[in-house]
Chain A
Amino acid sequence: MRFISRLEPRTLRNQLRVAFAFFLAVIVVSGASSLVALVRAHSAAHAVAHDGARLVEANASILQAMTNAQTALRGFALSGDDTLLAPYDAGREQYADALRRARELGSDHAPIQRAIAEESRLADIWFAQVASDLRTGAYDVTRGDVLFTRFREAHAAGTAAMQEHREADDAAAEHAVRTSMAVLTVWCAAGLAVGFMVSRRTVRRTSTSLAGVQDALASLAAGDLQVRAAEDGPEEMSAVARAVNGLGEVLERLTKEQRDRFHDEQAIRHASRSMRKTLEVEAVATHATAAAGELLCTASVLFARRAGDQWTLEAAWHFDPACPFAALTDLPASFGAVATAAGDDRRARTSGRTRDQFVDADRAATNALAAELGAGSMLLVPVANGTLQGALVALSDRERTWSPHDVYLAEALAREASAAVITAVAYEREREMVQLLTTLDEAQQDRIQRDDLLTEVARVAHADLDVDKIVARSVAALGPRLDVDIAMLRLHDGTGVSRRAGVWCSPGTEAPPLYAAGAAKFVLDQASAAGRTVFVTDVDVDDRLPPEARVALGSLGCRSMLAVPLAAGGTPIGVLELAAREPREWRAEDVDLLERIGREIDTALRHAQAYATERELVNGLQELERTRADFVASVSHELRSPLASILGYVELLGDGDAGRLTVEQAQMVTVVERNGRRLLGQVEDLLTLSRIGAGTFSLQVEPADVALLAERAVEAVRPRARSAQLSMSIDVAPDVPALEADTVQLERVLSNLLVNAVKFTPTGGSIEISIRAAGNGVRVAVSDTGIGIPEAEQPALFDRFFRASNAQASGIEGTGLGLFIAKTVVERHGGVIGVESAIGAGTTFWFTLPRVARTAERSLVPRLHSREET
């Protein structure tokens, strides 16, 4: 078997080949063996059957030939017939032939040879006898028979030997067949045994390998990733085992990676939890650096925090507390730029050798920063969440290649840190707020109360402008809300003696004498002299107090008091006093509050005083205003009424109601009427001026036909124009729009301009009114051929009471109000008024009016003339 093992082919195929070869060999060999055995058995039988028979036949032939020869001889002997010697000779030849054959056939067997030799010797003896007898010519039959019998006996012995030999050959043949069969059987058995063993071995080896692979797969599937299949057995099986083992390794690696990843994530989660739990930025930073340090296996990790452009080192973790990085307390100036750049593109910065994908644009700056920090290599990740909050910086003292995994870890931690920082910042703010609110709350309550009191007293004090009421109400508002028994407010005049006072007493306290001197006076004097608040905590222990003050305070029944001088305006006007029966600490807040209250009361009192003064003034002014208004109203009435009478009666006269007038009388009446109307116009102008000045002048807007108004104005001045021989014309363009305007005022403007034109145009001149559409309204121009207006005076022409120098020089009367009123009326309509003139070349006054008056109210009263027209 060792031999087989040594020759054993390593592949399953070869093994199976060998096994099959064995089986084939066994079949072939056994077949061949059977054949050989068969052939041998056959040949043995043939030899027995053929050679033995021929030998026996040859031996029988010998006997036959001898018998023939003897028979012939005997005949010869009896008859002497010579012819009978021929068969003898034939017998003799037959004998020789048969003997030769027998010798040939029995040559390989000694006993048979010996038997044949005996036969032939005895035959030869016979023949020799015969031959000698014949030569003598007498054959001795008896002797011959004896010799012949002897031969026959030898021949019988030979035949017996041959028979024996034939039997022996049979036995030998049978033996050979048996032996062959036995060998064949043994050979087959051996072949089967070997084949069986080889097969069994092959099967066992294959199945063992398969079982190993199967077990390995089952273990892998069950999660035991370290199990490996044995890589022996046939090559195919070991290849499968190798493949399975490879699979196992891959699985193990993947599982390990997964486990590592899981471990990383768990570590990050753990760090995140720690970070979020603290709610303090510094603690967040500490946790972040520690976690980063452990995960990245690096020397140091820094957490830099950004506030505007400022970067500060919030926390640092060091693997070895004695490492050089531990000495870092500040960040280099270049840190901000690198971290900000990282924050801007949201990518990590690495220094030193690194993978290509992390090669960044500002590598030089990053390397410089790493060098500045003294690091062999550096990994910087921004901590950002919308805004850049800081940076996580891993430092290594050696040169180190930061793997994508490192960057992943650092970035993951940075993300968690960012979220935690946001929470922490929010929480810190909230906590600060809460603390602030809590601390504020108490102070606030206190202050609110004090502010309330201040507001209340101030409200009470300012609510009135009567000094006595202010005094009384202030102390009434103040007393109950301060822990005092007496609240008193004294005013003093120049002599220092209290003139007026208000006092409030707690229930059960006797009101102090208002004008008591003593302690109050002392305090008042002190306060007034010092110009500041004076207080006594406990009269029994305050040794600054003079004895009389002590006695006086005692008479009030009080041991503690405070006095605030009311002297905000410089001169003291009074003092606010508070007294308590029990000793009392006057806190700074109390003093401050009371001083403020004092100032409020002071202000209120001064306001009241100022108000009293002012009220007198206002009363005077109101009286004056009333007088003026009355005056204007009465002027309106008083001037109009007589004019109404004058003009009315003049009209009666002119109409001849009182009898027909002579021409002179009629002319005189006309003069009276004209001057009456002029006077009326002047009264109207003055009233209008007064109303403009008082701001009560307003327009009464209604639909207005400028052309019609112009015609009426022309008609009004026509008598004067006619007497001065002036020609007058109106030129109205066909496209003049209807206006919304104050017709009364507009007619007044037109007649004013026309009257001026008539007044300043010498005899024989002409006056023209032109009315044109202009822009979104109308432009009216009144041109004359009059004396003109000096250019220098034109800008002032529309001023109140202004009169041109040449107008005054030529003695033409006027009030200087007409143009001012015209300008006001035009401008109130939203129009513009202007003049173009030169000395001696005439004057053109023009004004524009918008289609709808801009600043006007619609008239609610139907006009006189509009009624006339209906």
Chain B
Amino acid sequence: MRATNNTISGEADVIYANFMLLVLLTLVAAWRQHVLELPLFALTVLWVLIHLVGDMTTPLTLSF
């Protein structure tokens, strides 16, 4: 049997492209030794973590 809920359910999932865009921006900042490197890294980690915690505290609808 296959569970179908592999998602952070219901929200704007366009958000995943934003995560990767932030990773890319952080990489560019690291390359240029810009002061925003660590803040961008922290922002990305926190945003992903908040997103993940939101998913983990959402009731599951697995197809068991």
Q: Do A and B bind each other?
A: no
B residues with a Cβ closer than 8 A to A are none
A residues with a Cβ closer than 8 A to B are none
